Amino acid sequence: MEGGGGLQQNPFVSLGGLRLPATVPNGKPKREQDGQILAKSEPTHGGNIGSKGSKRPSRGRVDIVRETGGRGGKTVTVVAGFTGIGLPEKEELAKKMRAACGCGGTVKDGRIEIQGDQRETVARILTEAGFRPVFAGG
């Protein structure tokens, strides 16, 4: 292990001249011993995300339907009517829905199918993703 001088270099030395805010891991500002704040931590998102004035444009209407037909009486929540998104994004949405609902699901024929009656949770996730969910059928 001789000659390992390159491994002992501190990778953060070059960040010293950038005048970054000094924060501790929990995100609170570091304080000097006399109680003065060394640096204030600022929000990285600009401070206006989630405010009433900032409305994200809708990515389109999607239908949420509860189906039982052809499934042996089992209820499935189906999300259909996506326009302008591909299979990878549908699979990512399905993954979020499965995790939030704590159940199984799949993407089949361009539709997302989630096991059980999960319409409210699915609608919340779709709204967060910028879609306009509409409950259709029974």
- Residue-wise pLDDT tens digits, 23-51: 555 555 555 444 554 444 444 444 444 44
Torsion angle of C-alpha atoms 92, 95, 96, 102, degrees rounded to 10: 170
| Ordered domains of the chain (ranges, CATH) | 61-136 (3.30.780.10)
* Interior angle at CA 123, CA 43 and CA 72, nearest 5: 145
pLDDT in tens, 48-59: 444 454 566 778
- 108 in helix, strand or coil? strand
User: Is the Cα dihedral 61, 125, 92, 26 positive or negative?
Assistant: positive
At residue 61 the predicted structure's pLDDT band, cuts being 50, 70 and 90, is very high
C-alpha 86: how far from chain center: 18
The answer to pTM > 0.85 is no
Residue 84 has a pLDDT of: 85
List of E strands, 52-103: 61-67, 76-80
Of the ranges 17-21, 37-41, 67-71, the best mean pLDDT one: 67-71
